[in-house]
């Protein structure tokens, strides 16, 4: 799927991330539905963690 250059790039990314930054690797092309699903799932989880209330926060914001 990838090239040697891709491997070097991703090894560099993995090796330089600060502690606490999660790297989620998905065996899919950026245009694949599996990648989009993983990106949306990760975004929603991070937003819910940040908001502390998940779906309830979204309803409150929409009502404002």
What does the pLDDT look like over 27-53, one tens digit per residue?
999 999 999 999 999 999 999 988 885
b/e map 12-48, b = 16+ CB within 10 Å: eeeeeeeeeeeeeeeeeeeeeeeeeebeeeeeeeeee
pLDDT at 53 (0 to 100): 55
| DSSP label of 28 | S
pLDDT at 22 (0 to 100): 87
pTM over 0.75: no
């Amino acid at each position: 799927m990838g090239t040697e250059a891709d491997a070097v790039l991703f090894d560099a990314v993995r090796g330089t991330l600060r502690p606490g930054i999660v790297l989620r690797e998905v065996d899919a092309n950026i245009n694949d539905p599996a990648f989009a699903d993983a990106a949306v799932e990760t975004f929603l989880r991070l937003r819910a963690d940040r908001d502390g209330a998940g779906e309830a926060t979204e309803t409150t914001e929409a009502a404002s």
